[in-house]
Each structure stands twice: as structure tokens, then as C-alpha cells.
């Protein structure tokens, strides 16, 4: 299965058709769909995506976006999980840990712990278990200057997954490994950046290609 990961659109949807031309089997969207709204843009965006699509909001999305996602053609995964086919399970965490900017969709680390503990406990584990989290785990693709700003809650649940798909820190596009778990930030979709994730037939058989359209 080939799954396209995009994130950080910030209301700029001009590259969607180019992303779809990559012919993925499904798409996952790792938040900051809008730039502090408007939420009525959500339905128009996801109606253009003609493959299965799951999404979480980011910290720059208004909290009301959860209702808009529920009513859209995408599957809202914040605090929930879904199976993509028989081999890939995706759990979702929207928003971010606290930032200095008091953006609309932030959680305390204690709240993140509660959301992930509940979600992980209800997951049906398959060959590939994926966390779709707008914020990165502490220590991976989370540098702002010389400071690590990722979530301790995400880091604490890292080993429940084979792959973490994150975003949030625009300058940290890349793929890395943390405690034996792959972590990917596809870069800003508003600039045409994305990542194609190839899931193989056996566990840990995951390859990731960073692409710019």
C-alpha cells in the first residue's frame, strides 16, 4: 500500500491535484489544514480528494474544525483510530503541546497522555501501526533553534507504533529514527512538499520517499 502524507497546508490548497497525480492508495493529513480558519474551507478541500483520506487538525486550526472534519469526506482521527486495508492501522492526535504563541488547538502534556493512552488501548494492532500526530515526539524532527519542542506525551507512547507521521515544525522536514521507530515530517504542503509511504507485507517493511510537486 502506498499512502501519501501531507501537512501544514495553512489554507493553501493549490497543490492538491498535483498530490493526487502521484496515485497513492490513500492520503493522510497531519494538521494545520487552515491558517486559523475559515473552517468552511474544509469541506471544499476534502471533496476534491478522490481516495480514502484521514486527517487530524493542527494547532493553527480552530477547535471547531473537528465538527467540520466529521461532516467532510475525510475521516477525522483526533483521539480515534482506523484500519486502512488489512495491514495498516492509524491512530490520530490533533493539535499540539503548548507553544509560546497560544494558538487555538493546544493541549497540556497531561491531556496528550490521556488522549493517547485511551486511543492506544482501543487500537486493533495490524502489520503496520502508525501514529498520525501534528506535533512530533520530543527528540525527533522537533528542533526550533537549539531547543527540542516536541511532545513528551507522544514520546512516551512511541513504542506502541512502527511509524510516527508528524508536522508542526516547518523547518524540520525529513525522516529519522527514534528508539527504533521511524518518524517523518513531510514538509509544508503549501510549498508542494509531501511524503510517499510504502507499506510492505511484513512488519517494519516501511520505506519513505520525500517528494516535492
Residue 123 sits in a domain whose CATH number is 3.60.21.10
Question: HEC states along the chain?
Answer: CEEEEECCCCCCCCCHHHHHCCCCCEEEEECCCCCCCCCCHHHHHHCCCCCCEEEECCCCCCCCHHHHHHCCCCEECECCEEEECCCEEEEEECCECCCCCCCCCECCHHHHHHHHHHHHHHCCCCCEEEEEECCCECCCCCEECCEECCEHHHHHCHHHCCEEECCCCHHHCEEEEECCEEEEECCCHHHCEEEEEEECCCCCCEEEEEEEC
- pLDDT in 10s for each residue of the chain, 213 residues: 999 999 999 999 999 999 999 999 999 999 999 999 999 999 999 999 999 999 999 999 999 999 999 999 999 999 999 999 889 999 999 999 999 999 999 999 999 999 999 999 999 999 999 999 999 999 999 999 999 999 999 999 999 999 999 999 999 999 999 999 999 999 999 999 999 999 999 999 999 999 999
Q: How far is CA 97 from the centre of its chain?
A: 14
Q: Which three cell numbers stand for residue 39?
A: 473552517
Query: What is the per-residue pLDDT for 95?
Result: 98
Q: How far is CA 167 from the centre of its chain?
A: 6
Number of domain units in the chain: 1
Q: What does DSSP say about strands 147-148 and 143-144: parallel, antiparallel, or unpaired?
A: antiparallel
| CA neighbours closer than 13 Å in the CB half-sphere of residue 110 | 0
Query: What is the per-residue pLDDT for 198?
Result: 98
Between CA 207 and CA 192 the distance in angstroms is: 20
Query: What is the per-residue pLDDT for 170?
Result: 97
* Number of C-beta neighbours around residue 194 at 10 A: 24
Q: Which domain holds residue 121?
A: 2-212
Query: What is the per-residue pLDDT for 125?
Result: 93
Amino acid at each position: 500500500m502506498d499512502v501519501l502524507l501531507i501537512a501544514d497546508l495553512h489554507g493553501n490548497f493549490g497543490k492538491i491535484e498535483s498530490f493526487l497525480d502521484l496515485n497513492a492508495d490513500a492520503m493522510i493529513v497531519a494538521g494545520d489544514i487552515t491558517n486559523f480558519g475559515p473552517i468552511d474551507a474544509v469541506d471544499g478541500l476534502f471533496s476534491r480528494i478522490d481516495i480514502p483520506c484521514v486527517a487530524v487538525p493542527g494547532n493553527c486550526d480552530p477547535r471547531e474544525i473537528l465538527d467540520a472534519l466529521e461532516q467532510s469526506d475525510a475521516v477525522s482521527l483526533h483521539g480515534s483510530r482506523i484500519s486502512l486495508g488489512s495491514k495498516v492501522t492509524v491512530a490520530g492526535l490533533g493539535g499540539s503541546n503548548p507553544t509560546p504563541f497560544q494558538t487555538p488547538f493546544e493541549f497540556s502534556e497531561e491531556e496528550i497522555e490521556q488522549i493517547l493512552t485511551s486511543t492506544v488501548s482501543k487500537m486493533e494492532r495490524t502489520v503496520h501501526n502508525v501514529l498520525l500526530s501534528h506535533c512530533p515526539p520530543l527528540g525527533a524532527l522537533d528542533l526550533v533553534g537549539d531547543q527540542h519542542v516536541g511532545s513528551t506525551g507522544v514520546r512516551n507512547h512511541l513504542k506502541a507504533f512502527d511509524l510516527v507521521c508528524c508536522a508542526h515544525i516547518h523547518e524540520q522536514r525529513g525522516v529519522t529514527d527514534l528508539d527504533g521507530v521511524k518518524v517523518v515530517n513531510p514538509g509544508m504542503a503549501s510549498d508542494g512538499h509531501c511524503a510517499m509511504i510504502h507499506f510492505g507485507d511484513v512488519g517494519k517493511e516501511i520505506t519513505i520517499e520525500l517528494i516535492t510537486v
